[in-house]
Amino acid sequence: MPGTELFGKEEKKEINDVLETGILFRYNHDAQRNDIWKAREFENEVKKLLGAKYAHAVSSGSTAVACALASAGIGAGDEVIVPPFTFIASVEAVLFAGALPVFAEIDETLCLSAKGIKAAITPKTKAVLLVHMCGGMGQMDEILAVCKEHNLTLVEDAGQAFAASYKGTSVGLMGKSGCYSFDFFKIATCGEGGVMVTNDEQVYKNADCYSDHGHSHVGNNRGMEPHPILGYNYRIGELSAAIGLAQARKVPYILEKNREHKKILMDELSKVHGISFSKLPDPAGDSATFLNMFLPDTESAKRVVDEFNKAGVAGFNYWFLNMYHFINQWDHIKNLNVAAKLPIHILGAPQDYKNLQLPKSQEVVGRLISFGIRCTWTPDEVKALAKKIGACVEKAMAVHA
């Protein structure tokens, strides 16, 4: 959670600018706001950082996924290929858009694979919601080729991969629309917030209206603005945007530190028997928010987790058992438990969610353990952690050597 570690005077200054005027709303009130437009500035900073033509800040990463889907034209009855390993918001966004999630296999990149996508395509498939997991990126050349061949819309949930890139292009900008989260656990935070990006003017205009009750944001009489489409309130407030702005400016520094720390960990741990790492299709584009290590199999990964717990090693995630990141624990999706009926209840699920066969994903996530990289670590702290991790893995591996 690097952004969280760096909350300081820069964030306070940006918040103060807003407090001086009291204009907490991102639109209008031109006369009172003393030219303070934090949401706009935040968006401009993101555009500059990522090389995006358009960026639109909203209230969360989850609403950014909703915006990315709706703006790209994904809606009721559309089959959308999704991964079984993601923060659950990706799948929720598809369901609440009225669309139908189709689960496909991931691979050692921790993202949907081209092969997995291909196997899940049906005549009703409209889109792929590619999730760039754990700071890295998918195998984009192959995935783009499958999308092109089958005329599928690519939407990217880069909630965990802000500032990651593939061959020089930021993830989130490889398809029709993309999105990032700025919640408290991401590389940069604004408390609660998210950003949708696109290089397509119409998609941007859709998002701009969709996230604010259809407002076209033309002219300066809010009540008299045209409303080309229906929308809802997914707006970000100026205070959150102010923090997002200060944090986005820190991302280049965070990237540098994350990468430094991850390199030390990988150099040390690659010498340890039993450890390998997730595949990075473009290592230079890694946002390095996580060290993603593989053990030989699920059983040895579980033994390593036990050793970590015994030794008091903290800061890791064993996603295989996590309630919010892996399909095995998503009983509410398998049973379609909801507060109120969704289109999927009427249209029918495109797969038997209770009996999905995703052996590759089970195998990959079963042997994955991820450590969150901190940007404020000292080199000595990183080396000490590597030693502890290595010792625990050696112990766990020795059991069955």
Shortest gap between Cβ of 90 and ligand PLP (angstroms)? 5
Shortest gap between Cβ of 62 and ligand PLP (angstroms)? 3
Using CB under 6 A, which of 181, 211, 258, 292 touches ligand PLP?
Answer: 181
Shortest gap between Cβ of 164 and ligand PLP (angstroms)? 12
Shortest gap between Cβ of 330 and ligand PLP (angstroms)? 14
Which residues lie across from 294 on neighbouring strands?
A: 276, 368
- The residue number with the shortest CB distance to ligand PLP is 61
Using CB under 6 A, which of 159, 231, 237, 244 touches ligand PLP?
Answer: 159
Residue 397's φ and ψ, nearest 5 degrees, are: -75, -30
Output 86 or 361, the one with its CB closest to ligand PLP.
86
Where do we find the tokens 């230079």? Answer: 284
Q: Per-residue contact track with ligand PLP, 34 to 73, x per CB under 6 A?
A: --------------------------xxx--x--------
Site residue total, ligand PLP (CB under 6 A): 15
Q: What part of residues 184-203 is at the interface with ligand PLP (CB under 6 A)? A: 194
The set of long-range contacts for 378-386, using a CB threshold of 8 Å and a minimum separation of 24, is 379/264, 382/261, 382/264, 382/265, 383/264, 383/268, 385/265, 385/313, 385/315, 386/264, 386/265, 386/268, 386/269
Shortest gap between Cβ of 396 and ligand PLP (angstroms)? 28
292 binds ligand PLP (CB under 6 A): no
156 binds ligand PLP (CB under 6 A): no
Degrees, nearest 5: CA angle 126-132-136: 155
- Rounded to whole angstroms, how far apart are CA atoms 160 and 188? 10
Span from 67-75, 155-163, 227-235, 283-291 in contact with ligand PLP (CB under 6 A): 155-163
- Rounded to whole angstroms, how far apart are CA atoms 367 and 359? 13
Q: What part of residues 346-365 is at the interface with ligand PLP (CB under 6 A)? A: none
Shortest gap between Cβ of 227 and ligand PLP (angstroms)? 26
R_g over Cα of the chain: 21
Degrees, nearest 5: CA angle 82-109-354: 35
Lookup: tokens for 109: 């990149």
Degrees, nearest 5: CA angle 362-114-138: 80
Span from 152-160, 258-266, 349-357, 370-378 in contact with ligand PLP (CB under 6 A): 152-160
139 binds ligand PLP (CB under 6 A): no
Which residues lie across from 197 on neighbouring strands?
A: 55, 178
Give the alpha-carbon dihedral of 231, 233, 239, 245, to 10 degrees.
-40
- Rounded to whole angstroms, how far apart are CA atoms 262 and 280? 13
Which residues lie across from 371 on neighbouring strands?
A: 291, 316
- Rounded to whole angstroms, how far apart are CA atoms 359 and 140? 22
Shortest gap between Cβ of 55 and ligand PLP (angstroms)? 15
Shortest gap between Cβ of 192 and ligand PLP (angstroms)? 6
Shortest gap between Cβ of 184 and ligand PLP (angstroms)? 8
Output 316 or 392, the one with its CB closest to ligand PLP.
316
Output 59 or 206, the one with its CB closest to ligand PLP.
59
CB-based contact 336:345 (threshold 8 Å): yes
Residue 230's φ and ψ, nearest 5 degrees, are: -75, 150
Q: Per-residue contact track with ligand PLP, 76 to 105, x per CB under 6 A?
A: ----------xx-xx---------------
Where on the chain is the footprint of ligand PLP (CB under 6 A)? Answer: 60-62, 65, 86-87, 89-90, 131, 157, 159-160, 181, 183, 194
